[in-house]
Amino acid sequence: MMGTTFFNLVLLAHVLAGLGVIGLVLVQHGKGADMGAAFGSGASGSLFGASGSANFLSRTTAVLATLFFITTLTLAYLGNQSPKAPSSVMEGVTATPADAIPEPAVPVPAAAPESVPNADGSVPQNDATPKIPE
């Protein structure tokens, strides 16, 4: 039970770190954007300033990428752990006393088929003795 909870927590951290890395990479400016700003094609200012935003975003991306890498290794390790297999097919079976086993229901004998009249109206006889063709 503890292993499943730990696995789920690591999996949640893995998904959140992956989404965080994707979001931070999409928010960051590329090197080409700074070069274009130097020639006057746009402003490179942001919420944290020109140099501060690159350092903050790149460091946060590095931390999340490291967390993603660690959770990847942890999930691979946990996924590779095989549960202890029983040495016998009957190892996990518990013995049941014979008194605890319910009796099967008494089978109801099949009813004899009703006689269906022939086409000429005569009723065939229902003999229990088999007829041997001659």
Q: What is the 3-state secondary structure (H, E, C) of 81-103?
A: CCCCCCCCCCCCCCCCCHHHCCC
- Give residue-wise pLDDT tens across range 71-109: 999 999 998 887 777 677 777 777 766 666 666 677 766
- The residue among 85 and 12 whose pLDDT is bigger is 12
φ, ψ of residue 132 in degrees (nearest 5):
-100, 125
**pTM metric for this prediction:** 0.48
Cβ atoms within 10 Å of 71's Cβ, excluding its own? 20
Closest CA relative to residue 43, chosen from 62, 61, 64, 29: 29
Mean pLDDT of 43-70: 75
The pLDDT value given to residue 54: 58
Q: Are 56 and 19 in contact (CB under 8 A)?
A: no
Reported confidence tier of residue 67, pLDDT bands at 50, 70, 90: very high
Q: What is the pLDDT of residue 121?
A: 67
Domain ranges of the chain: 8-80
> How far apart are alpha carbons 66 and 68 in whole angstroms?
5
Give the C-alpha separation, 92 to 62, whole Å. 48
C-alpha span between 25 and 54 (Å, rounded): 11
Residue 22 has pLDDT above 70, yes or no: yes
Determine the distance from the C-alpha atom of residue 10 to the mean position of all C-alpha atoms in its chain, rounded to a whole number: 16
